[in-house]
Amino acid sequence: MTLPKLLHTALLFTAASRLASAFNFTVANGQIYTPGLAILNAPQPGTPLGGELIEVSLDVSTNGRLALPPYPSDSPSQIHNITIFLYSYITGRNFTISNGTASANNASLGEIMLQEPGSTVKHVKWLWPDCLVGDGQPKTPDSDRGAYNISIRQSFRLNGEDHYTIFDVPISVTNSIEERSDRPSCGALDNALWTPEDILESADFDVPALFAPGDSTVLQTSENTNGQDGLGPAKPPAGSGQGLGSGASSLADKGRMSWVLGLGMVAAMLLP
């Protein structure tokens, strides 16, 4: 058996959307590369979700290249903090998953970089709030279930330059979520929704997906990080000739990236 290492081809598939532009995702070996130092392991874009809670799994070590905090103060690359919201322009909701300060009973969570110390993967587990209880598609027009984005916001420094990026992962809250007496109230977690224009103003949308296989972005880290420079090999190893993320993932290409709008996606297929 050969190992599934080669990225073979990129597929463009468009979600039910009339938008002209496509929302491209850079996916390799099941991981989703973000415009930041964190890499999303789960959930995959477009997944129907439900259950007790939602779990967002993030590798915060750039697949082993970046050390964990506390970073040396001179480290040219580091994650300052990560916040996550769950929002929908359809339902009008914008729930706090984590804004860095835990609320009562962890209804919203504390700083993600500080959870699971020593672990390069942060498993962000958030109890679905009460108004998302139900099963299947939204059944009434005022239902809060349905299409959402997990909005992953990274404040980070890359090679001496600070960035704040927003990475929206579309999911659908359509699987079963059972009633529980301890579900947080939606009202307590809800925030005002910003207009798309204000969102575009608020963050750096010219940062492309970083560190996907084939991407040539170099990550500079501090010399004195555990006696190493933290520059481990990329995991998974880059396949040859896949082209995914190569030229397009260079920070020099700033301004040409318009992937932020729209709903299609590009996935890299794995060859056995």
* Binding interface with ligand NAG (CB under 6 A): 10, 12, 21-22, 24, 80-81, 83, 85, 87-90, 94, 96, 99-103, 105-106, 108, 115, 147-149, 155, 168, 170, 189, 191, 193-194, 199, 258-259, 261, 266
Measured from the CB atom, is 41 or 103 closer to ligand NAG?
103
Sign of the alpha-carbon dihedral angle for 62, 120, 103, 183:
positive
Q: How near is the Cβ of 96 to ligand NAG at its closest, in Å?
A: 3
Measured from the CB atom, is 129 or 236 closer to ligand NAG?
129
DSSP string, 166-210: EEEEEEEE-S-B---TTPPPHHHHB-PPPPHHHHHHHS-TT----
Q: How near is the Cβ of 179 to ligand NAG at its closest, in Å?
A: 20
Rounded-to-integer distance, Cα 30 and Cα 40, Å: 9
Picking from 150, 47, 55, the residue whose alpha carbon sits closest to that of residue 96 is 150
Q: How near is the Cβ of 257 to ligand NAG at its closest, in Å?
A: 7
Measured from the CB atom, is 4 or 262 closer to ligand NAG?
262
111 touches 191 (CB < 8 A) = no
Instruction: Give CA 52 to chain center in angstroms.
Output: 21
Picking from 113, 117, 174, the residue whose alpha carbon sits closest to that of residue 143 is 174
Q: How near is the Cβ of 233 to ligand NAG at its closest, in Å?
A: 26
Q: How near is the Cβ of 198 to ligand NAG at its closest, in Å?
A: 7
Q: How near is the Cβ of 80 to ligand NAG at its closest, in Å?
A: 4
Three-state DSSP class for 247?
Answer: helix
127 touches 107 (CB < 8 A) = yes
Q: For the chain, first and last CA: distance in Å?
A: 8
Measured from the CB atom, is 161 or 228 closer to ligand NAG?
161
Measured from the CB atom, is 21 or 228 closer to ligand NAG?
21
Convert 250-270 into a string of H (helix), E (strand) and C (coil): CHHHCCCCCCCCCCCEEEEEE
Measured from the CB atom, is 97 or 270 closer to ligand NAG?
97
